[in-house]
Amino acid sequence: MNTESIAKHAKQWKLICDDYSVDILNDAVQFIQRHSEILVVEFYKNMMLEKEASYFLSDDIVQNRLTKTLNQWLIESFNAPLQHKFEEVAAKQQMVGKVHARIGIPSWLIMRGIREIEKKIFSLKAESQYAENYTLSMISYIFQILGFSSEIICRSYEVNIEKNNDIKHSYRLFSAMQDASVQKDKQRSSLLDWENELMFKVFSDTQRFTHPALSKSEFGLWFIHKAAYAFSGSEQVDEIISRIYEVDLLNNHVLECGQKEQTIALIQQMRSKNREIQHLIDQLFQVAEYIDSGNDALTQLLNRRYLETIVSREIHFSRKNHSPLSLLAIDADFFKRINDKHGHAAGDLALQFISEVLLESVRGSDYAFRIGGEEFLLLLVDSDLIRAQEIAERIRKRVQDTPIRSSLGSSFNFTVSIGCALYDGHPDYQRFLDAADAALYAAKNKGRNNVYLAKLSTQ
């Protein structure tokens, strides 16, 4: 959807309005303004009963954010002809459709809400005190605008959802190929390390000990958050996930078991399932080859291409499983001074060093991006704000304390500012990204070279 389509829709919007007198346009605005709060309540009341709506809507989100937004949308839509803002209102409908595609709200759910508004308008019209004041012509005009605005929203939704699906498909291929080269041996080793650590604890005759679930280990988190998506559609994925959780149950039994012989039997079962997991992993990677279309050329971190796809998927996982999700926005302080004083080659070394520090600081299940210039993002899965803050502080201190030596023999130190945000449950990933960005901006304003935690908001 572009400027040309906005102009086209604005022209069509004006043509609809031109069919009605100024008196009807004014009556419609007054009607909407007088009853907008009632209509908004009606829009959400029955929609909230839909099972599919529960993922996107909650009482808290509707009351604190969406009610005000929908009320404003109604009034702006019917004020457009009186204020001659046809292009502005047409662009607004396109943006609404884009946001719905970003979140994944299906078009039929929006149409359900519009239907409830129209039903309520007829109900108000039928009441005696309104019967003379509001004519059928005015009702016809209101329905025309509601229908046309919904049409623009749906058009925009379809265009953007198709783009999103193309990117998701591309990312699955990219992720599969990338992980084939980078992660296969590392994660096989991680699985063995998890198993060997448990065996050591068992045979060291420690009376009471703890051991993390396989699903929460380096290997388990990597497979669930990366490999499972990269190879989605492969029958091995479901089998591996099933065995991971079977191993978790065996692990729990081992921790609760007090008899040596029974413990050894459980360990043997666990090792057998882990060998099955390794075999299935090998099958997944047999056809994979490395490609780097989603990597930043300088740092080899992920670039912006798959940022929205990855963040959206992890938000979906977080909402579905009630697991924490954190985001770090990282920016090199006074980076232009490095380039100006030491040269661009030295600046590249500094950026490469940041990428090394990021990768050293996180688990294989986390995501590191260079999103442009000296800006980086870290998406930390299954991580609360405490872990996020610890990692952020570790990164900040490591960068601060490590001199960078240029190819010309000179050395320099630099710092980074970091904003931390904890995912707050809202389905729009842009809100999450904006929270981290705002925290980074606050860190810069506080004097740089510090970590700032985003203040959670319900608005």
Question: What does the pLDDT look like over 345-355, one tens digit per residue?
Answer: 888 899 999 99
Lowest mean pLDDT among 58-62, 121-125, 381-385: 58-62
CB–CB of 318/324 below 8 Å? yes
CB–CB of 392/328 below 8 Å? yes
Those residues with Cβ within 8 angstroms of residue 193's Cβ, 6 or more apart along the chain or in another chain: 218
The conformation of residue 383, written as its DSSP 8-state character, comes to -
Region 128-146: what's the mean pLDDT?
A: 74
Lowest mean pLDDT among 38-42, 48-52, 64-68: 48-52
More confident residue, 78 or 123: 78
CB–CB of 381/225 below 8 Å? yes
pLDDT of residue 231: 76
Decide if pLDDT at 138 tops 60: yes
Those residues with Cβ within 8 angstroms of residue 53's Cβ, 6 or more apart along the chain or in another chain: 47, 109
pLDDT of residue 127: 66
- Highest mean pLDDT among 62-66, 170-174, 424-428, 448-452 belongs to 448-452
Question: What does the pLDDT look like over 233-289, one tens digit per residue?
Answer: 677 888 899 999 999 999 999 888 878 888 889 999 999 999 989 888 887 776 454
Decide if pLDDT at 443 tops 60: yes
Q: Provide the pairing of β-strand 375-381 with 325-332.
A: antiparallel
